[in-house]
Amino acid sequence: MPNLPTQNHLYQNHHLDSTRWNWFEPREDDIIIATSYKAGTTLMQTIVGNLLFPTGELPGPASFISPWLDFRPIPLEMVLGQLEAQEHRRYIKTHTPLDGLPYYPQAKYLCVSRDPRDVFMSLLNHWGSHTDEFYAAANGLPGRVGDEFPRFSGDVKQIWRDWITRSWFDWEIGGYPYWSHLSYAQTFWDHRDQSNIKLVHFNDLLSDLDGQMKDIAAYLEIEVPDEMWPDVVKRCTFAEVKKDPSKVVGENIAFAFKGGADSFIHKGTNGRWVGVLDDEDLALYEEAMSKLPPDYANWLQNGGSEPPK
């Protein structure tokens, strides 16, 4: 029997509503960029965008070209209208795990993941930068399922304890008050034998951006002229993106983040957890990771070559 993904769960909370995919009409060459959060989403959107538009003349920021379909505060009609109007090859962002998504055999899935400790450090900046307007939208918009999205307390040790030990969704490992980073990529890992599912690790993007982009281009069957390639890669480096983050994420992100695009595109580095997470914190980390299949846990933390099928 083929190991095809199936929808087993609904993901609905202050941020997510996976049922919004019920109204999505796929095309033959759609690309779906899937990450938990703070694991390389915007970097992968930047990579795919520059592969599709190698001259650098993208028709807009990633938030417009590659909208987050399951993000409940943005009207679904607007997102679907954006996607329907696009004549180029589409690349759609999702933070819903694969077991909550429809499976489209004709689409190409790119799942990006990262060491959970690095994700947590990036998440502190992300959550801690939210505006009052964002909290009002997440919590006040009709249709929210479950509790409100809590305010950022600034208590790093308690935030870590909650994030690594508590789950918003009962079937996941950790992630409170969002959804599980640890469980997210496993929903793709378990189906990595499918030819239209590719896993990419943030560590590998940092260490060999050129090689990883060539691999992604081959997977997506995108051919970039050789003479354009160096510039395509350069535009995807953190240094280039940081020069003008609004070109990547748009000006409207100031609604959700104090400091706007500059806060959203923050550090792009690993290892900042060293000296922040103590031995007690790391013991909780090891305990959570021990609940994962060993080969997946090793890849989730370290990355490396293409995960074995």
pLDDT in tens, 106-160: 999 999 999 999 999 999 988 998 999 999 999 999 999 999 999 999 999 999 9
DSSP 241-291: HHH-THHHH-GGGGGTBTTTHHHHS----S-TTBTTB-HHHHHHHHHHHTT
Question: Is the previous residue joined to 177 through a cis bond, with omega within 30 degrees of 0?
Answer: yes
Distance of CA 219 to the CA centre of its chain: 19
Max CA pair span of the chain: 52
Does residue 293 form part of some domain?
no
214 SS3 class? helix
Does residue 224 form part of some domain?
yes
**Rounded Cα–Cα distance for residues 184 and 67 (Å):** 19
Does residue 213 form part of some domain?
yes
33, 98 in Cβ contact below 8 A?
no
**Rounded Cα–Cα distance for residues 114 and 121 (Å):** 11
Buried b / exposed e over 157-167, threshold 16 CB at 10 Å, is eebbebbbeeb
Encode the chain (309 residues) as per-residue pLDDT tens digits: 678 999 999 999 999 999 999 999 999 999 999 999 999 999 999 999 999 999 999 998 887 899 999 999 999 999 999 999 999 999 999 999 999 999 999 999 999 999 999 999 999 988 998 999 999 999 999 999 999 999 999 999 999 999 999 999 999 999 999 999 999 999 999 999 999 999 999 999 999 999 999 999 999 999 999 999 999 999 999 888 767 655 665 556 666 766 655 544 445 567 788 888 999 999 999 999 999 999 999 999 999 876 666
Does residue 193 form part of some domain?
yes
Does residue 66 form part of some domain?
yes
Query: Domain with 245 in it: what CATH number?
Result: 3.40.50.300
Does residue 71 form part of some domain?
yes
**Rounded Cα–Cα distance for residues 80 and 75 (Å):** 9
pLDDT in tens, 45-79: 999 999 999 999 999 888 789 999 999 999 999 99
Q: Which of 308, 303, 274 is closest to 112 using CA atoms?
A: 303
Does residue 260 form part of some domain?
yes
Does residue 47 form part of some domain?
yes
Q: Give Rg (Cα) of the chain.
A: 18
* pTM for this model (two decimals): 0.92
pLDDT at 2 (0 to 100): 74
Total count of domains within the chain? 1
User: Residue type for 69, please?
Assistant: L
Distance of CA 147 to the CA centre of its chain: 23
Residue 23 neighbours by CB distance under 10 Å? 11
Strand partners, 108: 31
Strand partners, 198: 110
Distance of CA 41 to the CA centre of its chain: 4
Residue 269 neighbours by CB distance under 10 Å? 11
| CA geometry: angle 95, 109, 169, nearest 5 deg | 30
Domain that holds residue 214: 18-115+131-148+182-267+298-302
Q: Which residue has the tokens 């004549």?
A: 87
**Rounded Cα–Cα distance for residues 148 and 257 (Å):** 18
